[in-house]
Amino acid sequence: MASEVAIQRPRVVIIGAGFGGLSAAKALAGKPFGVTLVDRYNYHLFQPLLYQVATAALSPADIASPIRTVFRRQPNVDVILANVSGIDVARNQVIAEGRSIPFDYLIVATGAQQAYFGHADWAQHAPGLKTIDDATYLRRRILLAFEKAEIEPDHDERRRLLNFVVVGGGPTGVELAGAIAELAKRALASDFRNIDPRSARIVLVEAGPRILTQFDESLSSSALQALEQLGVEVRSGTEVTGCDDAGVSMGDERIESRTILWAAGVEASPASRWLGAESDRAGRAKVEPDLSLPGRPHIFVIGDTASCVDAEGKPLPGVAPVAKQQGYYVAHAIAARAAGKSVPAFRYRDYGTLATIGRSRAVAQIGRIKLSGFAAWLLWCFAHIYFLIGFRNRLLVMVNWAWSFATFQRGARLITGIVGARIRDVKPEAVAKSSVREEA
Amino acid sequence: MASEVAIQRPRVVIIGAGFGGLSAAKALAGKPFGVTLVDRYNYHLFQPLLYQVATAALSPADIASPIRTVFRRQPNVDVILANVSGIDVARNQVIAEGRSIPFDYLIVATGAQQAYFGHADWAQHAPGLKTIDDATYLRRRILLAFEKAEIEPDHDERRRLLNFVVVGGGPTGVELAGAIAELAKRALASDFRNIDPRSARIVLVEAGPRILTQFDESLSSSALQALEQLGVEVRSGTEVTGCDDAGVSMGDERIESRTILWAAGVEASPASRWLGAESDRAGRAKVEPDLSLPGRPHIFVIGDTASCVDAEGKPLPGVAPVAKQQGYYVAHAIAARAAGKSVPAFRYRDYGTLATIGRSRAVAQIGRIKLSGFAAWLLWCFAHIYFLIGFRNRLLVMVNWAWSFATFQRGARLITGIVGARIRDVKPEAVAKSSVREEA
The model's pLDDT over B142-191, given as tens digits with 9 standing for 90+, comes to 999 999 999 999 999 999 999 999 999 999 999 999 999 999 999 999 99
Interface test with A, best of B52, B81, B389 (most A CBs within 10 A): B81
User: Do A193 and B81 count as a contact with CB atoms less than 8 A apart?
Assistant: no
CA B141 to chain centre: 18
> What is the least distance, in Å, from the CA of A3 to any CA of chain B?
9
User: Do A434 and B420 count as a contact with CB atoms less than 8 A apart?
Assistant: yes
Does residue B347 lie in a domain region? Answer: no
In this structure, the answer to whether residues B365 and B216 fall within a common structural domain is yes
DSSP code for B77? E
What whole-number distance in Å separates Cα of residue B70 and Cα of residue B67?
A: 5
Strand partners, A164: A202, A259
In this structure, the answer to whether residues B49 and B79 fall within a common structural domain is yes
What whole-number distance in Å separates Cα of residue B45 and Cα of residue A245?
A: 32
Whether B249 has its CB under 8 Å from any CB of chain A: the answer is: no
Strands A247-250 and A242-244: antiparallel
User: Do B391 and A409 count as a contact with CB atoms less than 8 A apart?
Assistant: no
Does residue B395 lie in a domain region? Answer: yes
> Residue A367: is it exposed, middle or buried by C-beta count within 10 angstroms (0-12/13-18/19+)?
exposed
Position B358 scores a pLDDT of 87
In this structure, the answer to whether residues A246 and A277 fall within a common structural domain is no
A63 in Cβ contact with A86 (< 8 Å): no
- A186 contacts in B (CB within 8 Å)? none
Using the CB atoms, write b or e for A326-336: b if 16+ within 10 Å: bbbbbbebbbe
B119 in Cβ contact with B428 (< 8 Å): no
Residue of B nearest to A430 (CA): B432
Q: What percent of chain B has pLDDT over 90?
A: 84
> What is the least distance, in Å, from the CA of B222 to any CA of chain A?
33
Position A392 scores a pLDDT of 92
Of B175, B182, B206, B267, the active-site residue reads B175
Q: What is the DSSP string of B358-395?
A: TTTEEEEEETTEEEEEHHHHHHHHHHHHHHSSSHHHHH
Does residue B346 lie in a domain region? Answer: no
- Mean pLDDT of the B230-238 span: 97
User: Do A414 and B59 count as a contact with CB atoms less than 8 A apart?
Assistant: no
In this structure, the answer to whether residues A397 and A424 fall within a common structural domain is yes
B67 in Cβ contact with B37 (< 8 Å): yes
Element (H, E) at B300: strand B296-301
- A3 contacts in B (CB within 8 Å)? 193
Q: What is the DSSP string of B115-172?
A: --TT-GGGTTTS----SHHHHHHHHHHHHHHHHHHHT---HHHHHHHTEEEEE--SHH
End-to-end CA distance of chain B: 35
Does residue B222 lie in a domain region? Answer: yes
In this structure, the answer to whether residues B324 and B360 fall within a common structural domain is no
Q: Which residues, 6 or more positions from B414, have their beta carbon under 8 angstroms from its beta carbon?
A: A42, A43, A60, A61, A64, A66, A132, B56, B139, B143
- Domain of A319 in residue numbering reads as 2-114+266-338
- A132 contacts in B (CB within 8 Å)? 414, 416
In this structure, the answer to whether residues A86 and A234 fall within a common structural domain is no
Interface size A-B, in CB pairs within 8 Å, comes to: 176
DSSP code for B330? H
What whole-number distance in Å separates Cα of residue B101 and Cα of residue B123?
A: 33
User: Do B420 and A438 count as a contact with CB atoms less than 8 A apart?
Assistant: yes
Whether B421 has its CB under 8 Å from any CB of chain A: the answer is: yes
Q: What is the pLDDT of residues B38-78, one digit of tens each?
A: 999 999 999 999 999 999 999 999 999 999 999 999 999 99
In this structure, the answer to whether residues B56 and B34 fall within a common structural domain is yes
Strands B253-256 and B306-307: unpaired
Query: What torsion, rounded to 10 degrees, do the Cα atoms B335, B341, B342, B343 define?
Result: -50
The CATH number given to whatever domain includes residue B77 is 3.50.50.60
Interface test with B, best of A77, A81, A424 (most B CBs within 10 A): A81
- A70 contacts in B (CB within 8 Å)? none
In this structure, the answer to whether residues A145 and A222 fall within a common structural domain is yes
User: Do A413 and B438 count as a contact with CB atoms less than 8 A apart?
Assistant: no
Position B125 scores a pLDDT of 95
A109 in Cβ contact with A291 (< 8 Å): no
Low-confidence ranges of chain A (pLDDT < 70): 1-7, 419-440
B169 in Cβ contact with B211 (< 8 Å): yes
Position A417 scores a pLDDT of 81
Position B424 scores a pLDDT of 64
User: Do A414 and B61 count as a contact with CB atoms less than 8 A apart?
Assistant: yes
The CATH number given to whatever domain includes residue A416 is 3.50.50.100
Q: Which residues, 6 or more positions from A386, have their beta carbon under 8 angstroms from its beta carbon?
A: none
Using the CB atoms, write b or e for A117-147: b if 16+ within 10 Å: eeeeebbbbbbbbbbbbbbbbbbbbbbbbbb
SS3 B82: coil
Whether B74 has its CB under 8 Å from any CB of chain A: the answer is: no
User: Do B396 and A395 count as a contact with CB atoms less than 8 A apart?
Assistant: no
Q: What angle do CA B263, B269, B270 make, to 5 degrees?
A: 140
Neighbouring C-alpha atoms within 13 Å toward the C-beta of B382:
7
A255 in Cβ contact with A243 (< 8 Å): no
Contact map slice: A 103-142 vs B, CB within 8 A: 131-133, 136
In this structure, the answer to whether residues B129 and B104 fall within a common structural domain is no
> What is the least distance, in Å, from the CA of B54 to any CA of chain A?
13
User: Do B411 and A392 count as a contact with CB atoms less than 8 A apart?
Assistant: yes
Domain count, chain B: 2
Which of residues A284, A314, A338 is at a domain's end?
A: A338
Which of residues B338, B371, B386 is at a domain's end?
A: B338
Does residue B344 lie in a domain region? Answer: no
Of A175, A182, A206, A267, the active-site residue reads A175
User: Do B69 and A416 count as a contact with CB atoms less than 8 A apart?
Assistant: no
Which of residues B292, B315, B338 is at a domain's end?
A: B338
Interface test with A, best of B37, B42, B186 (most A CBs within 10 A): B42
Compare CB distances from A399 to B64, B395, B434 and report the shortest one's residue: B395
> What is the least distance, in Å, from the CA of A64 to any CA of chain B?
8
SS3 B109: coil
Amino acid at A240: V
Position B417 scores a pLDDT of 81
User: Do B419 and A432 count as a contact with CB atoms less than 8 A apart?
Assistant: yes
What whole-number distance in Å separates Cα of residue B432 and Cα of residue B435?
A: 9
What whole-number distance in Å separates Cα of residue A171 and Cα of residue A51?
A: 10
B275 in Cβ contact with B108 (< 8 Å): yes
Strand partners, A19: none
Neighbouring C-alpha atoms within 13 Å toward the C-beta of B169:
27
Position B49 scores a pLDDT of 97
The yes-or-no verdict on residue B126 having pLDDT over 50 is yes
> What is the least distance, in Å, from the CA of A403 to any CA of chain B?
7
Contact map slice: A 152-191 vs B, CB within 8 A: 188, 190-191
Neighbouring C-alpha atoms within 13 Å toward the C-beta of A66:
21
User: Do B83 and A421 count as a contact with CB atoms less than 8 A apart?
Assistant: yes
What whole-number distance in Å separates Cα of residue B247 and Cα of residue B35?
A: 48
In this structure, the answer to whether residues A14 and A66 fall within a common structural domain is yes
Whether A83 has its CB under 8 Å from any CB of chain B: the answer is: yes
Residue of A nearest to B36 (CA): A193
What whole-number distance in Å separates Cα of residue B164 and Cα of residue B127?
A: 13
What whole-number distance in Å separates Cα of residue B334 and Cα of residue B309?
A: 21
A165 in Cβ contact with A257 (< 8 Å): yes
B274 in Cβ contact with B299 (< 8 Å): no
Does residue B130 lie in a domain region? Answer: yes
Position B312 scores a pLDDT of 85
Does residue A380 lie in a domain region? Answer: yes
Neighbouring C-alpha atoms within 13 Å toward the C-beta of A354:
20
- A146 contacts in B (CB within 8 Å)? none
Strand partners, A250: A253
User: Do B62 and A59 count as a contact with CB atoms less than 8 A apart?
Assistant: yes
A256 in Cβ contact with A104 (< 8 Å): no
Q: pTM for the full model?
A: 0.93
Compare CB distances from A60 to B80, B133, B416 and report the shortest one's residue: B416
DSSP code for B246? T
User: Do B417 and A151 count as a contact with CB atoms less than 8 A apart?
Assistant: no
Among A185, A116, A173, A112, CA closest to A146 = A185
Interface test with A, best of B43, B68, B150 (most A CBs within 10 A): B68
Does residue A346 lie in a domain region? Answer: no
> What is the least distance, in Å, from the CA of B191 to any CA of chain A?
5
Strands A105-108 and A296-301: parallel
A34 in Cβ contact with A12 (< 8 Å): yes
HEC readout, chain A: CHHHHHHHCCEEEEECCCHHHHHHHHHCCCCCCEEEEEECCCEEECHHHHHHHHCCCCCHHHHEEEHHHHCCCCCCEEEEECCEEEEECCCCEEEECCEEEECCEEEECCCEEECCCCCHHHCCCCCCCCCHHHHHHHHHHHHHHHHHHHHCCCHHHHHHHCEEEEECCCHHHHHHHHHHHHHHHHHCCCCCCCCCHHHCEEEEECCCCCCCCCCCHHHHHHHHHHHHHCCEEEECCCCCCEEECCEEEECCEEEECCEEEECCCEEECCHHHHHCCCECCCCCEECCCCCEECCEEEEEECHHHEECECCCCCECCCCHHHHHHHHHHHHHHHHHHHCCCCCCCCCCCCCCEEEEECCCEEEEEECCEEEEEHHHHHHHHHHHHHHCCCHHHHHHHHHHHHHHHHHCCCCCCCCCCCCCCCHHHCCHHHCCCHHHCCCC
User: Do A66 and B191 count as a contact with CB atoms less than 8 A apart?
Assistant: yes
Interface test with A, best of B69, B79, B154, B410 (most A CBs within 10 A): B69
User: Do B440 and A434 count as a contact with CB atoms less than 8 A apart?
Assistant: no
User: Do B69 and A403 count as a contact with CB atoms less than 8 A apart?
Assistant: no
Position B425 scores a pLDDT of 65
Active site residue B152: no
The yes-or-no verdict on residue B439 having pLDDT over 50 is no
Whether B416 has its CB under 8 Å from any CB of chain A: the answer is: yes
Handedness of CA A21, A26, A30, A36 (dihedral sign): positive
Compare CB distances from B97 to A66, A412, A424 and report the shortest one's residue: A424
In this structure, the answer to whether residues B365 and B252 fall within a common structural domain is yes
> What is the least distance, in Å, from the CA of B301 to any CA of chain A?
23
What whole-number distance in Å separates Cα of residue B327 and Cα of residue B304?
A: 12
In this structure, the answer to whether residues A255 and A369 fall within a common structural domain is yes
B236 in Cβ contact with B170 (< 8 Å): no
Compare CB distances from B414 to A43, A83, A416 and report the shortest one's residue: A43
